[in-house]
Amino acid sequence: MIKTVDRYLLRSYFITLGVVILATGLTIVVINMVEELRDFIDHSVPLMSILEYYLYFGGWVIKSFFPVFVLLSLLFSVSMMARRNEIMAMKASGLSLYRLTLPFFIATLIMAVGHFYYNEYVFPPANKRRLEIKEFTIEKKSEEFFRRARNIYRQISPGNFYTISTFNINRREGQDFKLYKTTGNQLDEIITARGIIYHDFLWQAIDGTARQFKQREQTSYQQFDTLIIADIAEEPEDFARRMGKPEDMSLDELRQYIDLMKRTGGPYKRESIDMRMKYSYPVASIIIVLICIPFASNPRRGGIAVSIAAGALIALAYFVLFRVLQSAGYNDKIPEEAAAWGVNAVFLLVGLALMLKARK
């Protein structure tokens, strides 16, 4: 009997989830299509390119809104069963609200793990293709637009790294070059130059100074017009590989970027918070179960209209608080862990309180 009940609850949940994903996803796609329609017409975008773009765009919708889909699905499916007095009948047969919540919780936990895997290992390469279609096919941006790299940080070897403020790949020249050589925490040498060029397969620093240090004392100082930098192994084309936004990067890519910033002394506060959010965001789907089940299982609160309103309100509250804490973390107002996990902690407490107060 219990297994039959579990199958019935999960069937209703998954059917509703499929309908919500399809309906809401298509709504988001249509809205975006209306926004992009002018570019499609003005730039004579081929139909196949449009279809390919929205295939990848659908993946972005799932990645970005999956917790919302779970929220709406739970509210719809459970509230409809409550209106038909099915929840009451299950309780009368000896099943507590906690027991009825268990299949939803386990199923959502498995989907949250899948959501995390999808976000970090499936979505990033597909999303790169989506962005390429948008930039080069739909918006008709010239690839020349992306032939200028900014804020370059590279490690040559442990303790040996360099930075370039801006670099023109086509002209093979950059500005504001710095090369650091360290041993442990001790700075051994620093080379700073107004510019750097790649000529005859060699990197040459232009108009700069070279300083060498021994312990804390300056031991040598040299000005130069041109200085060959033999340690750099990269070629100009290597700088054309763009780093995406943190939310579009995989976990491994973001972790490598943060490690690079740590080695080179570059800023990584925002990326560090975003990396923690990559773990916290999928967890929201699990916490939502604790909020939705006690709310929707009360037949007096059931109904599609009430479920839509409640879902919209909960989703709005979550995303507003999510962005507020994220911004506070970016500006060092709160610790990184609080910025990434604070909203989940608040909603977890709300969910536990609702579960404890609900009629069992």
pLDDT in tens, 86-144: 888 888 888 888 888 999 999 999 999 999 999 999 998 888 889 888 888 888 776 66
The sign of the torsion formed by the CA atoms of 239, 242, 245, 248 equals: negative
Instruction: Residue 340: name the closest of 328, 327, 326 by CA.
Output: 326
Q: Dump pLDDT digits (tens) for 160-213.
A: 888 898 898 888 999 999 998 888 777 788 999 999 999 888 999 999 999 888
pLDDT at 57 over 70: yes
Measured between its terminal Cα atoms, the distance across the chain in Å is 19
Domain ranges of the chain: 2-140+269-357, 147-244+254-264
pLDDT tier for residue 263 given thresholds of 50, 70 and 90? low
The sign of the torsion formed by the CA atoms of 135, 140, 146, 148 equals: negative
The answer, as to whether pTM is greater than 0.85, is no
CA quadruple 223, 226, 232, 233: dihedral, nearest 10: -170
What residue ranges in 287-353 does DSSP mark as E strands?
none
**CB 334 within 8 Å of CB 273:** no
What residue ranges in the chain does DSSP mark as E strands?
148-157, 160-168, 173-183, 186-199, 202-214, 217-229
Q: Output the pLDDT for position 242.
A: 54
Residue 100, token pair as written in the block: 């009825």
Instruction: Residue 226: name the closest of 162, 159, 173 by CA.
Output: 173
pLDDT at 341 over 60: yes
pLDDT tier for residue 10 given thresholds of 50, 70 and 90? very high
Q: Output the pLDDT for position 343.
A: 92
**CB 133 within 8 Å of CB 49:** yes
User: Helix (H, G, I), strand (E, B), or coil: what is residue 166?
Assistant: strand
User: Helix (H, G, I), strand (E, B), or coil: what is residue 69?
Assistant: helix
Mean predicted confidence (pLDDT) in 44-48:
90
Q: Which residues neighbour 67 within 8 Å (Cβ) at sequence distance 6 or greater?
A: 281, 282, 284, 285, 288, 318
Q: Which residues neighbour 257 within 8 Å (Cβ) at sequence distance 6 or greater?
A: 243, 249, 268, 271
Residue 276, token pair as written in the block: 């923690």
Mean predicted confidence (pLDDT) in 239-259:
74
User: Helix (H, G, I), strand (E, B), or coil: what is residue 275?
Assistant: helix
Q: Output the pLDDT for position 243.
A: 54
